[in-house]
Amino acid sequence: MEEASLAVRRARRANATTLDLNGRGLTEIPSAVFDLEKLQHLDLSNNSISFISPQIRNLKHLEVLKLDNNLITSIPDEVMGLPNLKELSTEGNPFLKATSALSQSRLRGPSTSHADSGDASGLGLGPSLRPSTAQPDGGVAFGRRGGPSFSAGGGGGAAGMGVGAAPAGVGGPSWLAAGGPGGEVSRLKDESSGDKSSSSSSRGGEAKVPSFSFKDIQLGKIIAQGGFSVVHEGTYRGCRVAVKSIFDPKVTQDLIDEMTREIVALQKVRHPFVVQIYAACRTPPKLAILLEFLPRGTLFDLLHGGPKQRVDLSREVTMRIALQVACALEHIHSVGLVHRDVKSHNVLFGSDMTAKLADFGLSHPIEGPVPSMEFAGTASYMAPELLFRRPPIKEKTDTFAFGVLLWELVTGEIPHDGLDVEAIRGKADSGAPLPLSGVLSGDLKRLISKCWSVDPGSRPSMSEVVETLERLA
């Protein structure tokens, strides 16, 4: 299969009216596509695209646009405004309820819209709400007189993923400049079987994670490092990736289990607000996974980094980040998993500043035996039942950690900064581990306090947290 970039170049040279990029492992629409102003038929189906750039308005002659089986959560006005568009297919995408309705004379049925927040902080993070309810036949039909026929599947595949976001353009400081990595192509293919990358849609089961060989990787700089693993920026078959590998010379069974847990969890969790896995190397001593490259750093950096990293977040942006992380956790729990390491270091940002939850090395099923590393984690975010090794209600440990993360987002402070584990343990078991004086909203105070309940059964589910945040956003 030819590279998508090559297909685009050929189309440009030939002034083509048709371009087929079906199943190319794309995570975004290559920017060069928007220069093909004579295009009439564009097929982008079966990729992992989550964002449609407003530049699509350049394709004024486009008549057919196929977006089936991607991660798209909202159709921007620029698509619906294309003057010659007659057919728009979007089956198998996790659509959201509208946040700004399109004109009912132009689009009948539940509207979906892409809105630029235009907030003062310069972070244009798209709205993050619940998906529209599918009709009994598994789809939602839309249409407009003289315009495109529009079908959104509500059945299997990506449509069942839950919630997603439509990130808007990013303004503000130069490091938050709008746009992604310049139309890169992520065509990650299984060397042995020729399967599409694991980020592609998988009907009727979990996506298969292909294998890769280190001879195909060009490692760049280190972008993160933990106790037993290191993450490099890298290039794999022409696309940017993050390469997470075990660097401990003694590969223990615990390390193998941790890597396996992350692979299993990420192939099960396919969601716009969760980092995507592309491939894995499972042959000791070279244990590694290829992950989606997220160039904008961590939430910890955004809140607590140096002058070039730290940004003062508006309330609107703060709530959107909180809602995106909450939606990710809601979905993770819905597929029967607990994350178990929710913290600002593990919330990463893509080029469009969409928040994505990462690091599933401590994740485990809600049902089943307690894994050997159950009590590992970061003390500042750990629920009292973990700190005191009491029987947990597993998914409610994530709720507690999210409450700490929400406090951190709202106050801009580092939780339990400078305290040792013993001091944190005593605060966590008090029901009020951190001061709420810096939280100005009474509704947010009540939500955070509920998340911090000493009794796990009294904490809200992440679905209830999402509902509350949607109401407050």
Tell me the mean pLDDT in the region 432-445: 88
Q: How do residues 262-295 score in pLDDT, each as one tens digit? A: 888 888 888 999 999 988 988 777 788 999 999 8
378 closest CA partner among 429, 321, 421, 335: 421
Residue 339 confidence (pLDDT):
93
Chain CA centroid to CA 22, Å? 22
32 has a pLDDT exceeding 60:
yes
> What is the token pair recorded at 461?
């589910």
Residue 350 confidence (pLDDT):
87
Chain CA centroid to CA 35, Å? 28
Distances in whole angstroms, Cα of residue 106 to Cα of each of 72, 77, 82, 196, 462: 20, 11, 12, 37, 36
Distances in whole angstroms, Cα of residue 253 to Cα of each of 250, 361, 373, 431: 10, 13, 12, 36
Task: Place 445 in a pLDDT band, splitting at 50, 70 and 90.
Answer: very high
Tell me the mean pLDDT in the region 188-209: 39
235 has a pLDDT exceeding 70:
yes
> What is the token pair recorded at 448?
């955070």
Highest mean pLDDT among 18-22, 200-204, 398-402: 398-402
Residue 298 confidence (pLDDT):
94
Q: Kindly list the structural domains of the chain, giving each domain's residue range(s) and its CATH number in brackets, ordered by start.
A: 1-187 (3.80.10.10), 214-292 (3.30.200.20), 312-472 (1.10.510.10)
| CA pair distance 449, 470, nearest whole angstrom | 18
| CA pair distance 424, 207, nearest whole angstrom | 40
Q: How do residues 126-155 score in pLDDT, each as one tens digit? A: 333 333 323 222 222 222 223 333 333 333
Residue 159 confidence (pLDDT):
24
Residue 466 confidence (pLDDT):
96
Q: What is the DSSP letter of 131?
A: B
> What is the token pair recorded at 390?
């009491």
Residue 95 confidence (pLDDT):
56
Task: Place 373 in a pLDDT band, splitting at 50, 70 and 90.
Answer: low
Between residues 250 and 124, the one the model is more confident about = 250
Distances in whole angstroms, Cα of residue 269 to Cα of each of 14, 30, 266, 338, 470: 40, 25, 5, 11, 22
